[in-house]
Structure 1
Amino acid sequence: MAGRGRAIDGSCTPEEVIVEQFDDSDIVDGTVAGGANTSHTIALKHLSSLLAAVSPTANREAYQEAAIEQNILGRSTFEGRRRTFRYLRELYLLQPERILFRALRDLWDEDPEARPQLAGLAALARDSVFRATSHGLLKLPPGALVTSALLTEFMSEGFPHTYNAATAAKIGRNTASSWTQTGHLQGRTSKSRAAVEARPITIAYALLLGSLQGQRGQALYDSLWTRFLDATPRMAEMVAERASQRGYLELRSAGGVVEIGFRHLLRPLKETKS
């Protein structure tokens, strides 16, 4: 991992070594242009197919073998398989030793209805142009008309004079599809803003993302990640209580002080010494 990586808290026996780290660059800072949505969407269908085909305990090589060698994604050419796998890896990492993907994989099978938002949170963490469109889109009320041109405008506010007109328009179309896949947009030819539901697994993942960025306590309830779920701070707190009851996180609140932990999601990945 990169030098900026930091070890996740946890204990190990003398026979084991912690190999898990979180690299700060796993969550892009959003100030540098780029991301899969410049040429693709968040590919929720492909991600779902891949995770359905590969065991939750599999290593990184198993994902590549399923996508490229076994053609689980159903691409017509070998190059198409490689390209789609590259997009998925760019967005979701697909490496069990990376916290962002391992936590997504831990939560994926817990609530199938929440998978679009779970994938969307991961994409938001990894894709700068997708995140740039979020700042305008998430402010829109349910029912507001949303065009690809409007999303291009939102992206251009974050990255002015970065893309030519054709590329910017393509990003607008790709992000329109991506936001439809996450449930934030509805409609086929005419799209409008739709509200999504914050659920225990998505709140757990949203709070984890905030924690990995250094946020603590009540601040975790009011972040880009919780706003992605259309959750007010109070709503996020209520759903976090349900997530705690299900063991996705640990929540302690006393005297106005809130502590949120992620013992399972941030468990160290250990390997036994030979």
Structure 2
Amino acid sequence: MTEVTGTPKSTRANFGFGLDQAGSHNARTMMLDELTSLFQCVSNPNSEKTDYAHAIIDENCLGKRSEKTRKITFRHLASLYGLDQSLVLFRVLRYFWERDEAGRAQLALLACYARDSILRATAPFILDLPVGTTIEREATEEFIESVMPERFSKATLKSTAQNINGTWTRSGHLQGRTRKQRTLVEATVGSISYALLLSYLSGYRGSALFHTPYIKLLDCSFDKAIERAEEASRRGWIIFKRIGDVMEVQFPNLITAEEMEWVREQS
């Protein structure tokens, strides 16, 4: 699932996308439980990155045993999600997080996919599996090695495969313990809205917004994505207009004036 984008890398970095070859999945899953607890502790959606750091490191809101572990936890969460209000990718994640509880796992997956190269690399392997297919960790190891040859030691490759499978399990795409089975997720109004925004920031426009890697992450058909977008528009989360095959999606409540200038420059 190759992502084609017309947005310059520098602009995408300003939006919060992760573009280098690093990734946190060699050490952690998408840390959904920690993110959920963190947002409960830091309840103000307008909080700054320093507030999240203070809550994790100084107040130990996630209940870690040592200061070193707390600092590592903050570093990985910041790598996966940004934790920075200046990044539209994180700011809008938090916006939909507060409004779409059922879609939180999908929202977290979308953010991680946008920021973590290891997760992006494994997406085709997981998403293209027929429903009901059973996979084991070793199969994920083999795929990672095939797309990132000799990047990881044998031990790191094993832990990375475990973490990757763990993330896809928490997102709902896999179920089971050792032997995991491919299942389908049910895209929510919030997760489709967030996927459309990420697609828009990546340079997609019109009907192409509904045929992007972010929409595919949600196991969502074109027609179902249209239905979700229409509902999001009725709720005032986005603006969705459609006349026949001509479609337009706007995000006036989610993108700042400065960010819109970046969008216009890329166009």
| 2:263 matched residue in structure 1 | none
Instruction: Give the whole-Å Cα distance in 2 for the aligned partners of 1:169 and 1:4.
Output: 31
* TM-score under structure 1 length normalisation: 0.86
Cα distance, 1:255 vs structure 2: 4.0
Deviation track 1:115-163 (CA, whole Å, cap 9, x = no partner) reads: 0110010001111111111111001122111212222223223222322
Letter paired with 2:28: H
Tell me, in whole angstroms, the C-alpha distance in 2 between the residues paired with 1:24 and 1:57. Answer: 18
What is the aligned length?
Answer: 251
Give the equivalent residue in structure 2 for 1:222: 211
Query: Residue type matched to 1:183 in 2?
Result: G
Shift in alpha-carbon separation, 1:222–1:87, aligned structure 2, 3 A: same
Question: Matches of 1:168 and 1:26 in 2, distance apart?
Answer: 27
> Partner of 1:51: helix, strand, or coil?
helix
1:206 equivalent to 2:195? Answer: yes
Alignment-derived partner of residue 38 in structure 1: 26
Q: Runs of 5+ in structure 1 lacking a partner?
A: 7-21
For residue 239 of structure 1, report the CA deviation from its aligned partner. 1.3
Shift of 1:267: 3.0
After TM superposition, list the pairs within 5 Å mapping 1:131-142 onto structure 2.
Answer: 131-142=120-131
Higher helix share: 2
TM-score if structure 2 supplies the norm length? 0.88
Corresponding residue for residue 56 of structure 2: 67
Superposition CA RMSD, Å: 1.9
2:7 is equivalent to residue 26 of structure 1: no
Moved over 4 A (4+): 3-6
Q: How does 1:84-123 map to 2 (within 5 A)?
A: 84-123=73-112
Segments of 5+ residues of structure 2 without an aligned counterpart are: 1-7, 260-267
- C-alpha change, 1:187 and 1:4, in structure 2 (3 Å) is closer
**Mean CA deviation greater in 107-116 or 80-89:** 107-116
Q: 155-164 vs 88-97, which deviates more?
A: 155-164
Instruction: Measure how far apart 1:268 and its partner are.
Output: 4.0
Q: 2-side partners of 1:269 and 1:182: how far apart? A: 32
Q: List aligned pairs for 1:1-274, cutoff 5 A.
A: 5-6=10-11, 23=13, 26-29=16-19, 33-54=21-42, 55-268=44-257
Using the TM superposition, name which of 242-251 and 45-54 deviates more.
242-251
Please tell me the residue identity of whatever aligns with 1:161: E
SS of the residue corresponding to residue 192 of structure 1 reads strand
Give, in whole Å, the separation in 1 of the partners of 2:99 and 2:255.
17
CA contact under 8 A between 1:46 and 1:73: conserved in structure 2? yes
Aligned residue identity for 2:26: T
Q: Could you tell me how far apart the structure 1 residues matched to 2:14 and 2:181 are?
A: 34
